[in-house]
Structure 1
Amino acid sequence: MVPDADQSQLAAAADIARDVLLRDAAATDAVIALGLAAQIENRVDAARTAFHYAERLSRRELQTQLWAIVDLAGQGDIPGVIRQYDIALRTAPGAASERLFPALSSVLSDPQVRRLLVERLGRDPAWRDRFLGYAARDGEDPEAAQQLFTALDRAHVPVPEPAKVGLISSLIAADKWDSAWSYYQTLHPQANRASSQDPDFRYRPKYRSLFDWVPVAQSGIAATIGSGGDGGVFTFSTPPGVGGTVLRQMEVLPPGEYVVEGVSERIDQPDVSRPYWQLSCYHGSELGRVELPNSDRNGGRFSGRFMVPEDCPAQVLTLVTRASDDIAGVEGQIAHVQIRPAGE
């Protein structure tokens, strides 16, 4: 049997299948062949009889499970579809997930599907975390995945941290700024949209979202967040002749004027190689820079101003180092930094 089999091929396959079943009544492949032949010929009752028998013989036959899903969906039996998905994903996890995760994630916008899926995932099936990771990163509708994750949270069904962070990234990649921020705020209720987050580097999660401080270590650049003072501290160093971004955080600041202020440590560079803070629109132009003075001036305190225009719904705050000819390269620490509305 092949997808474009003609009537003579179908008849031959059915004859072979019947002959096999006369020799071995438990030959699942033969039963499936009869079921597919009946389905192609639009003999739905005969197809159901064959596939139900195949399922009784073995629940590990993916073709049987796939047929059952399609048949139940055709009857509008959504609870049955979700139940059958669960059976398929538990009995043939590898092959089934490749076929079924895309289909299941594509219908998450349906409230009934989400409700039933929350109930099923609340039973902790073995495929739960893998599916949530897929829905977060590879699903076609990240906002529907967000609705599912929110419903799971309300039902006290755990969602893996990598999936939460992955969902935020997917929402941002789809330019769903408000949805991304809304979901981030459910994870961090204290977060304030009108300012940057975690000014003292206290938050050190295993998985960081784009709304958190993200150190950038590459091309010989060292960048870490660790303990220091009353909170934390960001430490960076670059080798001679190397510069670039060492720290970033995404913002969704409303339009208006903002102040960036903070405290640096261990920065001692000539003017041409001092690091600077840069605020840019996420998909667009630079909004401004604030150069860091050497840390022996004014206790390392720095400040500057940025203006966020109406057509810039999302921004990125970055700390950028310049290349230096000094044999020691460039190094320093940031003990505190925050963007806040001007006048507050």
Structure 2
Amino acid sequence: MNNKKSFIIKKFCVIIIIFALIFVFQNNILTDTKPQIPSDKIKYYEDVLLYGTEEELQKALSELLLYDVTPLLNQLLNLLNSSIKPSIKIAIINCIRSLKEKAKVIAPSLKVIITDKYADKNLLAVTILACGELGLIEFEDDLFNIFNDKVYKDDINILKNILIALGKMQSKKYIDQIFSYLIDSKNNSEIRSAAALYFSEFDSIDIKYIQKFNEIVIDKTENSFIRRYLLYALSKYKDQSSYEFIVKAISDEDPYIQIYAARALKEYKSDEAISVLLNALRSNNPSVRVEVLNLLGEIKSLEPIDAIVYKIMNDKDNNVRKAAREAFLKIIEANKNANFTPEQAETIKNTLLYIFKYDPLESNRLRAKQLLLEIFKMNV
């Protein structure tokens, strides 16, 4: 009976942790925006960290994921440095990995783990990511030594996390080696994808890398994830040499490549980019059409208005029509003081009336009503 009760408690704790982690990542809790721990709970958490059972610790740590744990940092580090089991250490690291202002205080505890040849591999993988998120560039040599250590040659998660962490800490010391690994198609595709993510962490890199990435993003034999992440990287560099390759990628058969290429193209803010995006609206994939409409709404140019109105009225997909209405409203709100041609004015007025009457979202109906009043002096 006691075993059954213990099993139920453990299962309950696991469920709490899972839901907490989901909440964390969906709400971007691993940032500097965490709320403070309620003052009436600090003493409780202090006691649990000092005296709690493993089950009580897991429950408390899953709750602490949601808070700024700075007031409890010393207690958490003491526990991390103890002989407590790896799963609890992982929970502690997940609580403290967002405390960038305390990185120097946290660093020695993480150093112990990444230099321990016998460290639990799940713990090591999480610790490596934490080093990146805390910007501990002084650990770049330690991390790359692990990457090259044959002991870990089959530990894909660890190797991926090393590359991601090196990118997050803006380390360029081993950029040539990472580039060589990325472009060798014989290497593991998951790790190569992480190498592509590494390059996406920088705002600028040497042109020799960019030229190779230009080729990869239009190579249909290449791994889709690698191409997507490199398209994202190219969107950050905004090098003019990449433009024609991104335009080619937007016509790819892979809808995800089309979406990433469309996002990259938007960053160039050129008149030609709008015409390329309009052509992408012909995609048979509704997700691509939605993404393109979202981007056109962000660009806020009047040029695609007719195409957007066509999608509002005629697209067969409900999500596409919804995205088209949102894009239309954003564009008109941004251009409400523009000098419209008579044809534009008529199109805009009729579409606003349509949205006011038929859009299922009250907020959109109110936006349309306000625009009709401001632009056309119409009370509806």
Say which structure is richer in strand: 1
Q: TM-score, normalised by structure 1?
A: 0.40
Which of 1 and 2 has greater Rg? 1
Q: TM-score, normalised by structure 2?
A: 0.37
Say which structure is richer in helix: 2
